[in-house]
Amino acid sequence: DWKSNLLTSTQFFNSGHTNNWAVLVCTSRFWFNYRHVANVLSVYRSVKRLGIPDSHIVLMLADDMACNHRNPKPATVFSHKNMELNVYGDDVEVDYRGYEVTVENFLRVLTGRLPPSTPRSKRLLSDDRSNILIYLTGHGGNGFLKFQDSEEISNVELADAFEQMWQKRRYNELLFIIDTCQGASMYERFYSPNIMALASSQVGEDSLSHQPDLAIGVHLMDRYTFYLLEFLEDIHPASQANMNDLFKVCPKSQCVSTPGHRTDLFLRDPRSVLITDFFGSVRKVEITREAVNLTSAAEQPSEPLSYVDQLPVAEIIHQKPKQKDWHPPDGFILGLWTLILLVFFKTYGIKHLKHIF
């Protein structure tokens, strides 16, 4: 009967959201800011593992660490010197990379004021029933966050952007996490409802990095996000852990800085907010009770569509890998030989040329 079709009221009305989005931003470039990229990638990995698909994640990385020339272990980004967790993974999808990560693009993504030519994967297409997780990391100060070493976003601009999101009902609830020095200053100016904020350090404190790795040569991750990752690795999609557990992540003894949080703008009690409300994507599901009774209309035998050269799918996966094509020798080899020849002729004179040709 229809009453059992309606979801149990605890599930449907508890959180009021039907989909999840995540906007993950790393604002620093240069090799020595490896840890910021590792921070964002570890949150990205957790969020994907808990169910949010790539189409609902906007990932902005200001620099490429995995394929950086200085990375001794290419195509990897590690979170710990044990090298046990490669947070870069196999299927990372970066939406804004390199110089595309600017304050302007970030604000455009949040407010939705993108040029019409922007593809779907670069847009935040949230609606009034979306819970959004926003994670920022990089170098920050009292009231600002530095982007790309050349510009900054202030806490007033961020608060105004959130207010514009609220005016257009682009979110149901927002969780804002920031891991920078003096991170708490960035959420001081929020004034829109339904925002919960966490920061890794208070005003006047620095957020410290976790530990350096001697092989890679840089600090791998920041302390707050390291312990946050550790906490999130224990969460699975059906977990009932709530926000109060998240507030306890990385106390002063581990983090050296004092993490802070702000919940006064949030309507629900943090104790009733599940971690998976923001980090995961638990869908609400209803059983379809009725079906429309359709009489199969006179099915005209339509021409079966035929595709050119179609192999049965079962055979496609057994195809042998293609032979690699021959490439002319690398520039380095050519240069080396040119150098050797030049030195030879310089030393012994040009008259020996006739021995070669």
Partner 1 sequence: MAAIETEKQRGRYAALAIAAVVIVLGIPLWWKTTETYRAWLPFSQINELDSLQLQLSVEVEVVLSRGTLSPEQQKKVPLSQTREQEHQIDAKTVLRYRYETKYRTATIMEEDALNQPSAQEADLSLHMLSESACGSVVVYIIPETSTLLPADVKVYVGQRRTALLRAALFEGTAGLKEVLSTLEPQVKQVVDTMSFSHQDILAALSDRIRVGQVSKESLADSMRAIKSSPGYEITFSLLNPDPKSHSLHWDIEGAVNSYIQPLLDKLNPIANFSVDSQILYYAVLGVNPRFDNSVSAYTLNADSLAHVINPVEARLGSNAASSNPVLNFLLYVPDAQHSPLFIRDHSKREIPSNAFHSPRWGGIMVYNVNDMYGPEAEFPVDINISMSKVMGVFLAQLRLMLGVQKTQPPPGFVLQSAGSEGLADWELDRLMWSRSVENIATASTTITSLAQLLDQISNIVINDNIAQQVSSAVTSLQAAVAELEAGNLAFALQYSREAILASERAFFDPSLLHLLYFPDDQKFAIYIPLFLPMCVPIVLSLLKIANEIRQRRADKLAKKD
**Surface-to-core class of residue 335, CB atoms within 10 Å of its CB (0-12 exposed, 13-18 middle, 19+ buried):** exposed
Least gap, CB of 48 to partner 1 (angstroms): 8
Give Cβ neighbours of residue 332 (< 8 Å, ≥ 6 apart). Answer: none
Contacts of 303 (CB under 8 A, 6+ apart): none
- Is 274 a residue that touches partner 1 (CB under 8 A)? no
Q: Name the 3-class secondary structure at 83.
A: coil
Q: Is the dihedral of CA 306, 309, 313, 315 positive or negative?
A: positive
3-state secondary structure of 334: helix
Candidates 32-40, 157-165, 239-247, 344-352; binding stretch for partner 1 (CB under 8 A): 157-165
Is 306 an interacting residue with respect to partner 1 (CB under 8 A)? no
Output 9 or 323, the one with its CB closest to partner 1.
Answer: 9
CB of 2 to partner 1, least distance (A): 5
Member of 240, 296, 306, 319 binding partner 1 (CB under 8 A): 296
Q: What residues are paired with 151 via a beta bridge?
A: 147
CA nearest neighbour of 171 among 123, 228, 225, 129? 129
Say whether 210 is catalytic.
Answer: no
Does position 90 interact with partner 1 (CB under 8 A)? The reply is no
Residues 219 to 258 in contact with partner 1, rule: CB under 8 A: 237-238
x/- mask, partner 1, residues 12-41, rule CB under 8 A, reads xx--x-xx----------------------
User: Do residues 122 and 11 touch, judged by C-beta distance below 8 A?
Assistant: no
The reply to whether 181 belongs to the active site is yes
Q: What is the pattern of x (binds partner 1, CB under 8 A) and - over residues 115-144?
A: x---xxx-x-x-xxx---------------
DSSP secondary structure string for all residues of 175-207: EEEEESTTGGGGGTT--SSSEEEEESS-TT---
Residue 51 is a binding residue for partner 1 (CB under 8 A): yes
The residues pairing with 198 across neighbouring beta strands, listed in sequence order, are 177, 261
Integer Cα distance of 187 and 181 in angstroms: 13
Asked if residues 151 and 193 have their Cβ atoms less than 8 Å apart, the reply is no
Q: Is 212 in the site for partner 1 (CB under 8 A)?
A: no
Q: Does 53 bind partner 1 (CB under 8 A)?
A: yes
Active-site residue, from 181, 219, 250, 255: 181
293 binds partner 1 (CB under 8 A): yes
Which residues contact partner 1 (rule: CB under 8 A)? Answer: 2, 4, 6-7, 9, 12-13, 16, 18-19, 51-55, 103-104, 107-108, 111-115, 119-121, 123, 125, 127-129, 154, 156-157, 160, 164, 167-169, 237-238, 281-297, 299-300, 302, 304, 312-314
* Active site members: 139, 181
